[in-house]
Amino acid sequence: MVIYLICVGNKVSNWVAEGYEEYAQRLPAHCRLQLIEIPLKKRVKTASLLRLQQEEGEKMQAAIPTGAHVIALDERGQSWSSPQLAAQLAHWQQHFSQVALLVGGPEGLAADCLRRANDRWSLSAATLPHPLVRIIVAEQLYRAWTLTQGHPYHRA
């Protein structure tokens, strides 16, 4: 299975890229995490933020592989504990060859992206910095995978 992490924003700090890679590389080939970056449109005072969000959403949807199970990362989504995420990951592995996780830009996900999603996942009730979400998702997926394998990484 390939999990595509489709994110708006393509200019991140080195520590973000390194943190993401640290956990993405720990996942095995049969549960690969692949980052797809959608360039963030330039925000200027006269720009319509709704229009920019829609344009970014269109590019996100175009990046979703055909047949992928789509999950929107959204504060109104379902919150999963680590064992619950491990169960979700096991379900995805059994039923889908591709999963796409959508992470919006500063204004969040476009309405069309939310409608396209099969599920919604909330990492936190708090709004997180979008670059940090990459690291959190990669680490949580690695943690979930270790739980499915009986690996001692998760010590709760």
> Sheet holding 69-78: strands in order across?
32-38, 2-8, 98-103, 69-78, 119-121
104 is in an annotated binding site: yes
33 and 24 in contact (C-beta within 8 Å)? yes
Ordered DSSP codes for 47-59: S-HHHHHHHHHHH
35 is in an annotated binding site: no
The binding site for S-adenosyl-L-methionine consists of 73, 104
Annotated binding site: 73, 104
